[in-house]
Amino acid sequence: MTYYIRHILARITTHVILLAFSALALFPVIIVAMNSLKPRREIFRSPYSLPNPIDWSGYDTVFQESNFVRYFGNSIFVTGTTIVLVLLISVMAAYALAEYRFKFSSVIALYFLAGIMIPLRLGTISLLDTIKAMGLYDNLWALILIYTAMGLPVAIFILTDFIKLLPHELIDAARVDGASELRILFQIIAPLLRPALGSVAVFNILVWNDLWFPLIFIQTDKLQTVTLGVSKFVGQYKINYSAMLAALTMAIVPMLVMYIIFSRQLIRGLTAGVSK
């Protein structure tokens, strides 16, 4: 009986801690969403109160005085294409590093690990020269290529370890049956990597929030991303807080949706990594 009571108390304590942490993490998001429905004066007078009455002027400003819908589409295109490229390239690279042993395999693995330790922003000037030489300046593909390069080291590191955990007998049996390496990779290995792929996808969703590279590589208004579009409401002498908070609220929604979709895969992937 004592053990049962301790078990119940432990579970209650765990859930209380998790709920408290969730409330702490969601509190800034809720505050931003509530204040986006208030006029400027109410934001500073009572930032923690519910909007009464609800004021939609911030959202009207966002849609009438900016190309927010286009910014939103640009961010979806950049983030979605980046995730697809990172998953595709990292799966193939991780399979090669985990399955094949050749002379420079360790050197290549260390090369990818170096990408985790060295922030890509340190090479911004060199990247700018390279992007201009490629004719991709003021082009969304410049952001996609840079974000893909940023996401590959971590993705390859995660997927390589997961592939090494898979039973090698599956690969040997497929080869005996005459399956090609590409078929083995995409029909046998890739479906077993769903937790790891979900984790990689969640990590790369964070490029949605990046401001540094769009600010440097994008000049045309119709090519700007959501985060760069939000900065338009921050002037040198005046800040439109209602519009800025409204834009931030709408920018948060895709991140929450994507996390909800991939949360189970993320948890499974992290749990498998801890077990290893």
What average pLDDT does this structure show over 234-246?
77
What average pLDDT does this structure show over 142-169?
88
With 50 as the cut, is the pLDDT of residue 64 above it? Answer: yes
Instruction: Report pLDDT digits (tens) over 108-122.
Output: 777 777 777 778 888
Which has more pLDDT, 1 or 219? 219
3-state SS, residue 234:
strand
Cα angle 260, 74, 37 (rounded to 5 degrees) comes to 60
Q: Enter the DSSP assignment of 51.
A: P
Give the mean pLDDT of the chain.
Answer: 83
Residues 202, 204, 208, 209, CA torsion sign: positive
pTM of the model: 0.82
* pLDDT for residue 270: 57
Which range is least confidently modeled, 46-55, 130-139, 255-264? Answer: 255-264
Residue 42 is which amino acid? E
**77 burial type by CB count under 10 A (0-12 exposed, 13-18 middle, 19+ buried):** middle
* pLDDT for residue 274: 45
* Residue owning tokens 């590093």: 97
Q: Highest-confidence range of 9-13, 139-143, 189-193, 204-208, by mean pLDDT?
A: 139-143
What average pLDDT does this structure show over 30-34?
88
With 50 as the cut, is the pLDDT of residue 262 above it? Answer: yes
Q: Enter the DSSP assignment of 139.
A: S
Q: Which pLDDT band, with edges at 50, 70 and 90, does 275 fall under?
A: very low
3-state SS, residue 239:
strand
Which range is least confidently modeled, 10-19, 83-92, 192-201, 236-245? Answer: 236-245
Cα angle 85, 86, 90 (rounded to 5 degrees) comes to 115
What average pLDDT does this structure show over 230-246?
77
What average pLDDT does this structure show over 264-272?
61
For the domain made up of 66-275, the CATH class stated in words is: mainly alpha
Alpha-carbon distance of 205 to 211, in angstroms, equals: 14
What average pLDDT does this structure show over 40-66?
83
Residue 101 Rama label (left phi>0; alpha psi -120 to 50; beta): beta
**118 burial type by CB count under 10 A (0-12 exposed, 13-18 middle, 19+ buried):** exposed
Q: Kindly list the domain boundaries of the chain, sorted by start residue.
A: 66-275
